[in-house]
Structure 1
Amino acid sequence: MRTLKTNVYILLRVPTVTVGTLSCDPDYFSLNVKTQRKDLYDREEELAFLEKSVELPITVVTGIRRVGKSSVVSVFLSDKPGMLVDLRETGPNPSARELFKRFEKALNSSRIKRLWQFLSERIRGISVGPFGVVFERGVEQSMTLSALFDLFEDYASSERVVFTIALDEVQEARGYKRLQAAIAHSYDYNKHVRFVLTGSQVGLLEDFLGERDPSAYLFGRAVSRVEVKRLSKERSLDFLNKGFYACGVDPPKELEKVVEALDGIVGWLAHYGNYKLKGLSTKEIIKNAAMLELEEVKKLRGKYYLPILQSLAQGSASWSYIFRFVRANVDTSERQFNEALKQLVKYGFVEKNKEGYSIADPVLRLAVSKTWKNFEDW
């Protein structure tokens, strides 16, 4: 085991921990969205699919939360003209100003200075400053997203390239209909612009695409689809082993039990590796993750959601079992129950499978059942 120099880190909802200064290459355990291919474990199949997906204007990337969709798309874009627009926490009805600020940030992260100059020369209210492109206040009133996408088309055509706009967690902005309209416009008229839409909340993503709504802007348009799946147990174990060795640290002996508990969700595996390197116990790491998941559940307003999740805490269950469990704990009608269960599926907290329904995220299952309290360092 490498001898470590000591530094002090303060972590959210966990105690101050004395840890070592480590240099990891590749850095599999980074909690940020990956930007370099070497730091992204596996995913050759998903990246290869994205390379071929330029045949259609829209590619949809799905997968449950923390499975690594954003990192896959970010690495895909790392050597291509394009940008990744983070739409997380915009709220379902973001303002035009909020969306344009998200595009501004994405343009600056892209580091495509020729595009910055191209836009500033053609749009009043867009300038290039010392830190990148600047969308001045009011620019969202003088132009539409459709017009912005048309300018991306003009730029891509002049450069003889395909320009990719990746919208991460696009369903978050589902209430802003002008975004759907702009994508539909670009789909129909722009030959050099492609969209990659990611979403963890599959039901809401389907609503955004208007798959069952003939009046929706994107209804009926062909899309490519790729699912980013959980890692197998073997790949999960390999990920953790390689991650620790890349940091010059011998892997803990408990890895097989950790893999069993975290069920192939690469975000949680990286979370475990990251905080294990910082000196936390396994119980502290799992508790921290469980508290994060409970915070997500608290965002759902309604008295039926938690009882439904509690009914699934021990594994898959049928509709009738869940309904009986919920009705024994809260006063509910079948209609109210069905609507709550439907929303949990839409938001990606619950999956429908052959056995009935189950909690999608293993850490959420631990949080709801409170079994994280049973974890110790193995």
Structure 2
Amino acid sequence: MYNTQGEYLVLFDIEPKTRREDLFGRDNEVDSILNFIRGRSRLLAIYGIRRVGKTSVLRVALNEANTPYCYIDARALENDFTKRRFYQLLSNCLTELSIKWRLENAIRNITKIIRGINVLGSGIELNIEVDWRSVYLTDLLNALSKNLDQIVIAIDEAQTLRMLKGGFGKIDLTQILAYTYDNLSNIKVILTGSEVGLLHDFLGLENPKSPLYGRFIEELTITPFNRDASIQFLITGFRQYGIEIKMSEILDAVDELDGIVGGWLTYYAMPGYAE
């Protein structure tokens, strides 16, 4: 949507943001992710309830980092918790990685090392297929590590991965994460979770039986806006639209809502939504 000056308006857009200038009040969180990517830590967990803005913060940081990344939204499993479906998401991720970062040659080099990865087409018509029956994830990660200077693997709503099942049982992603952590220093992993307890239990950092037990993990919690930030968010957004609104109305809205920028605050502010 555009305002009368022809400016594209995104502050009240419910879609995840990808540019810092479209993201309100989350500079510190974005910078924390950038510091992780540029630092020495291997694994970052981002916690926060649904619609608080985790995906926007993550996507903005990934786009600013200037580092090849593979982004997977685990919600796309859509209750199909099979190895086949997970590998479809992985194939899509590698395709996007190849096109966005022009890494087609690197991926083709990987296919020479690992059987079961097919590269179809080229350029923007490129499509990569990873055979779930023959490709081991640790082999794929090793090949990526050897052919790229650095890569970030980001998985949204990662607690969903605990449900994965393969043909002969579950894919133990914690085993794979532990292997990556211990052996592949140029691969960074970022996991987000809205069900904080489930993600924490899935990682098992305090569980002696978990493969990730004892590993150091950076953690970032994204909280709802406080009252002052919620007020400023609405003022700034309405100003983008050129709409004058009484402060009393804004205060009433903030007092009724909960500081969830991707949820009620945005829905309230969207033209026509609250009518």
TM-score tier by shorter-chain length is 0.7 to 0.9
Q: Aligned residue for 2:268?
A: 272
* 133 and 263 in structure 1: CA distance in 2 versus 1, 3 angstrom threshold: same
- In structure 1, C-alpha distance between the alignment counterparts of 2:140 and 2:268, rounded to whole Å: 41
- 1:52 equivalent in structure 2: 35
1:172 to 151, 160, 173: 160
> Residues 153 and 190 of structure 1 are in contact (CA less than 8 Å); yes or no, is this contact kept in structure 2?
yes
- Percent identity, aligned pairs only, is 29
Which residue of the partner structure matches residue 135 of structure 2? 143
1:249 aligns with 2:243: yes
Name the CA distance, whole Å, in 1 between partners of 2:253 and 2:13.
Answer: 18
Whether contact under 8 Å (2:45, 2:219) holds in the other structure is yes
State the Cα distance separating 1:245 from its structure 2 match: 1.7
Deviates more, 1:176-185 or 1:214-223: 176-185
Query: What corresponds to 1:122 in structure 2?
Result: 110
The answer to whether the Cα contact below 8 Å between 1:210 and 1:219 also exists between their aligned partners in 2 is yes
TM-score under structure 2 length normalisation: 0.83
RMSD (Å), alpha carbons:
2.3
In 2, Cα distance between equivalents of 1:108 and 1:28: 30
Q: TM-score, normalised by structure 1?
A: 0.62
What is the Cα deviation at residue 25 of structure 1?
4.0
How far apart, CA to CA, are the structure 1 residues paired with 2:96 and 2:232?
Answer: 31
Shift in Å, 1:272? 2.2
Q: CA deviation at 1:70?
A: 0.7
CA distance in 1, matches of 2:102, 2:94: 11
> Which residue in the other structure is 1:351 paired with?
none
Q: Which runs of 5+ in 2 are unaligned?
A: 165-170
Cα shift readout 1:259-306 (whole Å, capped 9, x = no counterpart): 1122211112122223xx1x2335xxxxxxxxxxxxxxxxxxxxxxxx
Contact preservation (8 Å) 1:86, 1:167: yes
Q: Aligned ranges for residues 1-378 of structure 1 at < 5 Å? A: 22=3, 25=8, 27-53=10-36, 54-79=39-64, 80=66, 81-88=68-75, 90=77, 94-110=81-97, 111-123=99-111, 124-129=116-121, 131=124, 133-136=126-129, 139-157=131-149, 162-176=150-164, 177-251=171-245, 254-268=249-263, 269-274=265-270, 277=271, 279-282=272-275
Distance 2:7 2:266 in 1: 13
What letter matches 2:267 in structure 1?
H
Could you report, residue by residue, the CA deviation over 1:351-372 in whole angstroms, capped at 9, with x for unpaired residues?
Answer: xxxxxxxxxxxxxxxxxxxxxx
- Structure of greater Rg: 1
The DSSP-based 3-state class of the residue aligned with 1:206 is: helix
Contact 1:56 1:223 in 2 (8 A): yes
Between stretches 125-134 and 46-55, larger displacement belongs to 125-134
Q: Classify 1:231/1:83 alpha carbon distance in 2 versus 1 (closer, same or farther; 3 Å).
A: same
- SS at structure 2 position matched to 1:47: helix
Q: CA deviation at 1:51?
A: 2.2
SS of 2:72's partner is strand
Change (3 A) 1:28 1:231: same
For residues 248 and 200 of structure 1, the distance between their equivalents in structure 2, rounded to whole angstroms, comes to 34
Are the equivalent residues in 2 in contact too, given 1:86–1:106 (CA < 8 A)? no
2:85 aligned partner, one-letter code: E
In 2 relative to 1, CA 251–100 (structure 1 residues): closer, same or farther, beyond 3 Å?
farther
